[in-house]
Amino acid sequence: MIFSMTGYGKGSTDFGSWFIDADVKSVNSRYLEVYLKLPSSLISREYELRDLIKTKIKRGKLSVNIQMKRNGVNDDAVLFDEVKLKNYLALIKQVKKSARLSDKIKLEHLLMSRDLFLTGAVDLSDEEFDAVKKTLLTALENLLEMKSKEGTELSKDLKKRLKSIEKKLDLIEKETGDSVDENFVKYKEKVRSLIEDSSNFNDRLELELAILAERSDITEECVRLRSHIKMVLNSLNKEDDPGRKLNFLCQEMNREANTISSKTLSTSITHSSVHIKEEIERMREQIQNIE
């Protein structure tokens, strides 16, 4: 089974006075990149969460957002201590009176005192952190389900294109049996048209033309291309994370198709090889999205 690298997953949990919400978005990336957005209460547990993610996801750029609310208040919500504020104002008024100052109390004076403000961040118990991990796992499982469905569709598309390539390869192999002899005849005719005195067409020249025609044989390239097709199918059916291998195989398939196109003198084989290269390019675009 193959997995796409794009997807979305969400998880939510009610645990005691906590409501925990996690969502995960994944897009293409050559390696595994994880970007975490966490509330203050989870900053110290970031590495544990990253290790948990790595057990489920192999490749892709992940954006993970976890939010926590306690009794309906966001964990990162900033509140102010009303009792301290009243005491602080009373102290300022007393200082003004003692120093006989007439300046007004402004907002910036209050904002400078950090003791007046509180955050909802707390140290989580092991049970509460387990609830966070459970929520994240739910989001990751939902992400994997979506990645699996898209991966199935990608696999179908790739197999369809491989069949199209095989059909063109069958046509090429049917024609390549006589291509060496045909190329030899074409070379001879070309040389005869260039040489005024055909008596100069000796055995040595004919041997060189035969060698040149033999070099246009594309049997090896066809065999290797068919082998690569089998390896791609095997990877799609049996490997869990074949993305990198499939990308390499597409490069090799394209190399063989280019060689076939450059060596042959047959117009029909050239057209078939162009079709094969077009299909390989479409496959490469799809494979960039496979984990």
Residue with tokens 């390239």: 221
The Cα–Cα gap between 178 and 60 comes to 48
Cβ atoms of 250 and 291 within 8 Å: the answer is no
Other CB atoms within a 10 A radius of the CB of residue 13 amount to 17
Residues of the chain with pLDDT under 50: 213
Ordered DSSP codes for 123-164: PPPHHHHHHHHHHHHHHHHHHHHHHHHHHHHHHHHHHHHHHH
Cβ atoms of 110 and 116 within 8 Å: the answer is yes
Cβ atoms of 136 and 22 within 8 Å: the answer is yes
- 125-142: burial string, b at 16+ Cβ within 10 Å, e else: eeebbebbbebbbbbbeb
Predicted confidence at residue 254, as pLDDT, reads 94
The Cα–Cα gap between 276 and 171 comes to 11
- How much is the CA Rg of the chain, to the nearest whole Å? 35
Q: Among 146, 169, 188, which residue's Cα sits nearest to residue 289? A: 146
C-alpha distances (whole Å) from 218 to each of 194, 224, 229, 255 are 27, 10, 17, 13
Q: Which residues, other chains included, contact 196 with Cβ-Cβ below 8 Å and sequence gap of 6+? A: none
Tell me: the pLDDT tens digits for 58-85?
Answer: 889 999 999 988 776 665 555 556 676 6
pTM of the entire structure? 0.68
The residue type of 278 is E
The Cα–Cα gap between 98 and 242 comes to 78
